[in-house]
Structure 1
Amino acid sequence: MCSDSRSSRKARAALVTAFCLILASFSLAGSAAAASDCSAFATPPYFARAVPPPPAPGNSRGLTHEQINEYLTDLDKASDRVVTGVAGKSVEGRDLMYAIVGREGKVTARALASLRSAAQDLMNPDTPAAVAELLAGSTPLILWVSGNLHGNEESGADAALRVLHELAARDDCAASTILDNAVVVVLPAQNPDGREANTRRNHYGFDLNQDGFARTQPETDGRLELMRLYPPMLAIDAHEMGSQGYFFPPTADPTYHELPTRAFGWVGRIYGPALATEFERQKMSYFNGAPYDLFAVEYGDTVPAVGFHAAGMTFEKYNGAAIAERSHAHYVAMWTALFAGAGQRTEIVGEWRKSFTEAREQGLAGTLAAPPEYYAVRKPYKTVPGMVVRHYFLRNDPARSRELARLIRRLQRMDVQVWQLTGNLAVSDYRAYRGAGPGSITLPRGTYWIPLAQRQKHWIQAMLNEDTYVSVSTSYDVTAWSNPLLMNLDGGYSGKDLFPDAKLVAALAEPAPPVPSGSLPRIGLFEIPGGASGFVAAGSIRYLFDRVWQLPYTPVTAENIRNDGLVRLGIQVLLVPDGYANAGKQALRSQGLKAIADWVSKAGGRYVGYGGGSELAVAAGVSTAILKSSSTSAYGTLIRARLKACSPLAAGIPALPPDCSADPNATTPLWLMYADDEIMSPGLGNTAAFFPAGDLVGETSGQSIGVDELRGSAAIIDEPIGTGRSIVFSFDPNFRAWTDGTQRVLWNALFAQYPSAGVLAAEPGSAAVARARQAASQLPDVGKAIRITVRPEDADATRALLVKYGAEFKELRKPERTVFMIENRKGLSREEHPFAMDLTRELRRQITPISFSMP
């Protein structure tokens, strides 16, 4: 079938001949569909090959990471169906090992190189149709099986090893269906450090299931670089949860609007029904839908779906079951899905090719995709607008060159083509991010241009969007992640047909770390003890100092502080991130709080805090900020605040620094990540950043329920205390290390030069301090609360349900909504919490809550 005669032109003939050579290296051994009498499980397995099985777990936690890697190495040596490699290293230096399993001769170095080449050509809309058709007919599926993204959810890794072993050892029809039609990439343990420590998070306290687009952690980065080599058509991510039974898709709304519809359709048409049939046949309990959605582009299912057009699927098994039961359930789900996909190889590979072509066609037309839905949304919270978007632009501001470089590199490393204008470009319908509307502008030479007419159109829209257009107000996690807004960059978009003079930007390296001006102060980092929230916030800061800023810091403990350690250690700046403030007060005791007060007011120390760290500042008497609870429903929402441009905290942020002698109150926009944080107003301090007094919904990207109650409140308060200073934030300026824009403000809070204060403003024992403490004492003692927001008519039913679960909660009542704040002092995630998952599901069966949010 492959010969030079297929084209009369020499170039065409040479091209087709080259592809024929590629196809020959991985031509399929069997049918594109499973035999009609073959079943994933009903057909008896036949183990024909003597390859070692995985070792038996030594305890209830499954195998150690070392045992996993040893087994992968041993299986590679024993089987010609398996090859292994290292995708990267964890923070603590452990190998992130993977295995690729396929038919004999199809996982050699040459065959895998051909597979990688074929996948790239299938994704490339410019590949000639005839060549693409040949490739689609002969290229195996690339199916991914991953586990242990959360370190204490061990069973996914153990199940993945069983799948790997059986594909290496079996010769029955079920195994042959998979091997004849697919190459399977197995990444058993995605969080080696967490597995060894038996913690959900990695060394730095990051939930790796919230790191997908940002790629801050080496574990995430290694996984995604491997996906670029072997782009998945199916991506299984096996987890554990606190709810009885087993979860597999379909998911609940919302679904991200730029999710490729073909990949989404495979879940509903191929994988979901196959899983349901098998689980019912084996009488295994399962559920679909709530609380799991497919929205935020950060997860182990949404990132492969949007970035690689895969059928991204999260599997969840009850974490209270024995390790054998957990591993078996995951094995059944994994094997069923692999078999179902392999049986539809021809359809899936052909549609995968078309999906990328259709994405570029959407980009050419400027069409924003509509969100696919499994469950009808009666009244959408937001709808995707009908406007045309063909191009994004990022203004080349030298003051923000670091943030620009990081964003451009991030796009390039997901195969997005970024261009730079070589001449001025007139745009008649330019829309700046959250600007007043379309208008004419001339973009100068050097502006970065990202056209949507490329195969990564869906990823471009996901990263550069102005809003995510969340279709329902109840989402699993954040509702905003626009990268230009996270980085506080100037940019916008256009729907016109534009053909600018531009050059392709070469691959950028990670920018060099920033350098403080002047002498480097000695910075102390205090992690608030008593739960996950303090560990997570402090870990994020440790990552920022170690890996991004590459600067030293000194960990300090409550005992250090109580024993006058801030002075003895020579600490000049004390950074106190978020955490459960009451646990911090208990650890510090009155002695430690007084030591902080004396260090600031008498020794001239600088205190920088946010979240629980701001509450501790008030408790210690080094801030007069007035704090109160919010009744918003806007967890993970970007809001455009105003930063006073003449404040030392604004250094390097305004594109055009103002004349402060003429206008000392000039402001500059500052996008910040809001997570239902407390409302803050100044006592005697200076409001360095604030929320505008007007309509805040128009200043918001993501869910915006109740945000107008923030109008005019403070986002950052900067005040002298005695001879020292305190700077407190109402929000997390280093939220998941995503927020490069407010990281810059945090940098200034730590390093900015202030005039010598003398004895100014408040003293720790002043009336203003007493007022601040009194206000803080009224805050609900619930920690990082689970927040359920309902309509007033649903409050009684919600209250009764909370009583049934034995929940400790507080209520905030507004005329249009009631907010229930459920105690979560340990800062547990939804899966870790003993009843949050079941509560979510039962609540959504009874009523339609306005929102349900949890850290």
Structure 2
Amino acid sequence: MPRLSSRARLLPAAVVAALAAAHPLGAQGTPPSPEQVLGYPLGEHFTPYAGVQRYSQALAEASPLVDYRPYGRTPEGRELFQLVIASPRNLQNLPAILAANAELTRPETSAERARQVAASNPAVVYFSYGVHGNESSSSEAALWTAWDLARDAAEVRGVLDSLIVIIDPVTNPDGRDRYVNWFQSVVGAAPNVNPQAREHREPWPGGRFNHYLFDLNRDWSWATQPETKARLATWWQWNPQVHVDFHEMFYNSSYFFFPAAAPINPIYPEHILAWGRRFGQGNARAFDAQGWAYYSGEAFDLFYPGYGDSWPSLTGAVGMTYEQAGHGAAGLAIQQESGDTLTLHDRAMHHRTSGQATLRTAAFGKTALLTDFAQGQRSAGQGEADFLLVPGDDPTRVEALVAHLRRQGIEVERASSGFGARATAYPSFPSRGQFPAGTYRVRARQPRGRLAVTLLQPETELKAEYSYDVSAWSLPYAYGVAAYRAGAGTGSGWTPVPAPAEGVSTVRAQPGGYGWLVAPGGAAGGPVIRFLAAGGRASVVTRESTFGGRRWPAGTWFIPARANDTVQARLTQAGLGGLAVPVASGMAESGIDLGSENVARAKLPRVAVIGGEGVAATSFGGHWFYLEQELGLPFDAVQAQELSSLDLSSYDVLVLPEASPRALRGAEDALKAWIRRGGRLVAVGEGAAVAAGLAEIKTREAGTPDSARGGPSRYLAGREERQRQEWRQEVPGTILPLRLDPAHPLAFGAGLDGRPDETFALHTGSLVFEPAEDVETVAYFPERLTRISGVISPENLRRLQQGSWVVSKRMGNGSVVLFADDPLFRLFWRATNPIYVNAILLGP
């Protein structure tokens, strides 16, 4: 962007205060405009996060209608905040208003009480801007919208009589500043509208994602990131009736608003869809008045539960996505294929206008909006069976799943004693009529009942041939937890489960005589690595053995008391205190003794993760976050383009996330030499497809669809039929069963309860490896493969069966380990995490 003139520099707090004093609110004057505080008209420049925050604080200081509320911090230390905008009376009575609003979320609230609340209470509208940091016009529009409300502008006059408005003006501050700072560093004295100019070519990884390169718009249901966790912690305070997520799409498009496209999750009550149409009609009138182009009912569906439209809709709000043409390529101005020039001002004005129209529609129908919200909540879980989650030999799995549900605001209860129940087992789990103490129950009929059902049921029906995202996500399979559906009111003696405490467990380790044993699995990986990183010693028991009357599976960790200085304190600090079980003797009652040659000492490897151009940013981010934040494993991030010039002997393990062939171009010989000298390459998904060529491991390609065979007829099919044929060859996130080699070190701790040779994969692509004599298969798709959940064609099922999902191959003194999918996909698919940890820590 052009260099800022003196009037465009961000103003100090003293000047902001002076402006506020010079323009007092209401009868005394008007709150300061964005231009008065920032020094430039909105749309002329990109406003960095600090400017968004400064104006928001200035507006709150000047206006009795605006309350500035911090709610968290990003990984880079920027403050997350909401602007609460309401009439002075409603702000003063906000606790009582929100308490009455919360009553409407409860299924037991009567229709009569709901009518009383709807008649007297304002509705809550929540606007989120900039979840993708390089979709930058939305945060500019947020400032305009806040100013419009604070000064009671004509376009929104009177809406605060009926509404409480929550504005989150920049939900991804780290990504926004990454984009804005880059753009300011490359733009010339005036913006260049040529799409080929550098200012329209954002470099890797771009500003779309947060600090850890997660797509926050796909994290609502998983809440892996600090920004999402902080936002959801406030959601249950507001319980909004409307949520709009303001986005941008490719710059040659126009503007999208609801109604949504198919497929739509069938669990939504009718009012969600009806109001989506009603808001769309209101937006259309506003855009028609300006002659602006727009569309609705296409492309953006309401199926995957992790978006900023679908997740709020599952909690009862009318959740909607608004998409403005622009995105990270648009800059301050860009020439579209039509020949028109699209400016930042245009983009922000379109979002401002749709926001105004949405507020008018919500205010006009406030009472009906609240009444419909309450009716939808009264029907939540009606006629639905409850969910039973059973702890197995590794109770940490079900505990992790329950913690996930509680972070989502879903109520969970725990049985204090065993009970019998007529229950239906999930596919691939054994039938049972008796349930042990410690079984968890999730009632379908609860304030977050639709969210609970969607996340927990075996399958959400997809009534379409295409979905914008993955087609399956059932959390019991994601965590490897046996799950059942049972009639409401099953069992007795249920105790509510509190919200989880975040951070490393501080349970003190019990004294150990000879040492401690730790069962393998997802919960052990991080604590064991932190223990090793702190200087502790640990070994792996490679065969099933019995100590102290308990059967310990292959892969159990042994931590000796001898030669482990201050070991008990280190166990506690690493989070092993609640997992480490004291053992009095090294002699096994069955299996191998702890001094056996088959008890192998573990060494913390020197790890690098490959990033840069050609590597999928979100995949790299998943590995970064998991290794650093969850495992505490030190690693170097290295650039793919520099692999051939790096001293690779500094590393024992290289991790290649999802990547295209260009990521390793020119580095093939250096990587092969490093592997043969003893290095271990761990590659996932499309990165594994690239690495398979290095290791001469064959892959299976997607075949021609059966329906398209038979000569030229396949080429004569119409466009829609060809699109359907292409869709049938995709695997858009399907849950499939996996068979494991339980004796292989990579499979230690990855199997299901009582079935160490089975688990589940979320398969998201076409890749599978061909079994071969010189390749060890760790996990594979079984013969006569059937899907558990999600969309997949019969042709793809046949292609995948008896195909390898994880393979290991020796190359000289080193090895490669390849995963057909990314086992860290969005960090919610936990069942296959142990295989990944073993691949890095134990090797083949």
TM-score, length-scaled by structure 2: 0.74
Q: 1:171 to 1:558 in 2, by over 3 A?
A: closer
Per-residue CA distance 1:760-805 (angstroms, 9 max, x = gap): xxxxxxxxxxxxxxxxxxxxxxxxxxxxxxxxxxxxxxxxxxxxxx
**Contact 1:685/1:718 (CA < 8 Å) preserved in 2?**
yes
Q: Partners of 2:45 and 2:607 in 1: how far apart?
A: 36
Q: Partners of 1:338 and 1:545 in 2: how far apart?
A: 43
Name the residue aligned to 1:823.
none
Name the residue aligned to 1:271.
279
Per-residue CA distance 1:212-238 (angstroms, 9 max, x = gap): 101111122222222221111111111
Picking from 213, 220, 232, the partner of 1:224 is 232
Q: Report the secondary structure of 2:616's partner residue.
A: helix
Name the residue aligned to 2:135.
153
Per-residue CA distance 1:249-269 (angstroms, 9 max, x = gap): 11111101222322222122x
Q: Report the secondary structure of 1:596's partner residue.
A: helix
Moved more, 629-638 or 296-305: 629-638
Name the residue aligned to 1:645.
742
Q: Report the secondary structure of 2:675's partner residue.
A: helix
- 1:250 maps to a residue whose letter is P
Picking from 314, 318, 321, the partner of 1:311 is 318
Name the residue aligned to 1:95.
79
Name the residue aligned to 2:416.
422
Q: Partners of 2:495 and 2:837 in 1: how far apart?
A: 34
Listed as ranges, the gaps of 5+ residues in structure 1 are: 1-45, 367-389, 659-666, 755-855
Q: Partners of 1:427 and 1:722 in 2: how far apart?
A: 56
Q: Report the secondary structure of 1:115's partner residue.
A: helix
TM-score, length-scaled by structure 1: 0.73
Q: Report the secondary structure of 2:421's partner residue.
A: strand
Moved more, 443-452 or 648-657: 648-657
Counterpart check, 1:234 vs 2:242? yes
Counterpart check, 1:584 vs 2:663? yes
Per-residue CA distance 1:681-737 (angstroms, 9 max, x = gap): 13311111101110423x343455643121111101022222222211111111122
Q: Report the secondary structure of 1:183's partner residue.
A: strand
Q: Partners of 1:314 and 1:492 in 2: how far apart?
A: 34
**Contact 1:430/1:441 (CA < 8 Å) preserved in 2?**
no
Q: Report the secondary structure of 1:332's partner residue.
A: helix
Where does 1:440-479 land on structure 2 (aligned, <5 Å)?
A: 440-479=432-471
Structure 1 consecutive aligned stretches of length 4 or more whose deviation exceeds 6 Å: none
**Contact 1:48/1:170 (CA < 8 Å) preserved in 2?**
no
**Contact 1:405/1:510 (CA < 8 Å) preserved in 2?**
no
Q: Report the secondary structure of 1:478's partner residue.
A: coil
Q: 1:154 to 1:496 in 2, by over 3 A?
A: closer
- 1:326 maps to a residue whose letter is R
Picking from 644, 654, 670, the partner of 2:759 is 670
Counterpart check, 1:345 vs 2:354? no
Cα distance, 1:528 vs structure 2: 4.6
Q: 1:135 to 1:66 in 2, by over 3 A?
A: same
Where does 1:682-721 land on structure 2 (aligned, <5 Å)?
A: 682-683=771-772, 684-697=774-787, 699-704=788-793, 706-708=795-797, 709-721=799-811
Cα distance, 1:511 vs structure 2: 6.3
Picking from 271, 275, 285, the partner of 1:262 is 271
Cα distance, 1:496 vs structure 2: 6.5
Cα distance, 1:520 vs structure 2: 4.3
- 2:630 maps to a residue whose letter is V
Q: Partners of 2:281 and 2:692 in 1: how far apart?
A: 55
Cα distance, 1:548 vs structure 2: 1.7
Q: Partners of 1:237 and 1:705 in 2: how far apart?
A: 37
Per-residue CA distance 1:620-640 (angstroms, 9 max, x = gap): 33x534453566322222222
- 2:697 maps to a residue whose letter is T
Counterpart check, 1:594 vs 2:574? no
Picking from 784, 805, 813, the partner of 1:723 is 813
**Contact 2:64/2:88 (CA < 8 Å) preserved in 1?**
yes
- 2:133 maps to a residue whose letter is G
Q: Partners of 2:286 and 2:472 in 1: how far apart?
A: 37
Name the residue aligned to 1:514.
527
Q: Partners of 2:622 and 2:703 in 1: how far apart?
A: 25
Name the residue aligned to 1:85.
69
Name the residue aligned to 1:323.
344
Counterpart check, 1:395 vs 2:379? no
Picking from 730, 746, 751, the partner of 1:654 is 751
- 2:107 maps to a residue whose letter is P
Q: Report the secondary structure of 1:346's partner residue.
A: helix
- 1:99 maps to a residue whose letter is L
**Contact 1:473/1:703 (CA < 8 Å) preserved in 2?**
no
Q: Report the secondary structure of 2:150's partner residue.
A: helix
- 2:98 maps to a residue whose letter is R
Name the residue aligned to 2:701.
628
**Contact 1:479/1:703 (CA < 8 Å) preserved in 2?**
no
Q: 1:423 to 1:657 in 2, by over 3 A?
A: closer
Alignment: residue pair count: 656
Q: Partners of 1:193 and 1:219 in 2: how far apart?
A: 10
Where does 1:834-849 land on structure 2 (aligned, <5 Å)?
A: none
Name the residue aligned to 1:170.
152
Name the residue aligned to 2:18.
none
**Contact 1:49/1:169 (CA < 8 Å) preserved in 2?**
no
Cα distance, 1:428 vs structure 2: 2.8
Counterpart check, 1:607 vs 2:607? no
Q: Partners of 2:81 and 2:106 in 1: how far apart?
A: 29
Per-residue CA distance 1:378-419 (angstroms, 9 max, x = gap): xxxxxxxxxxxx111112124250x43332122223332211
- 1:219 maps to a residue whose letter is E
Identity over the aligned pairs, expressed in percent? 26
Q: Report the secondary structure of 2:837's partner residue.
A: helix
What's the RMSD between the two structures over aligned residues?
Answer: 2.4
Listed as ranges, the gaps of 5+ residues in structure 2 are: 1-25, 180-206, 331-341, 505-525, 530-537, 540-601, 705-728
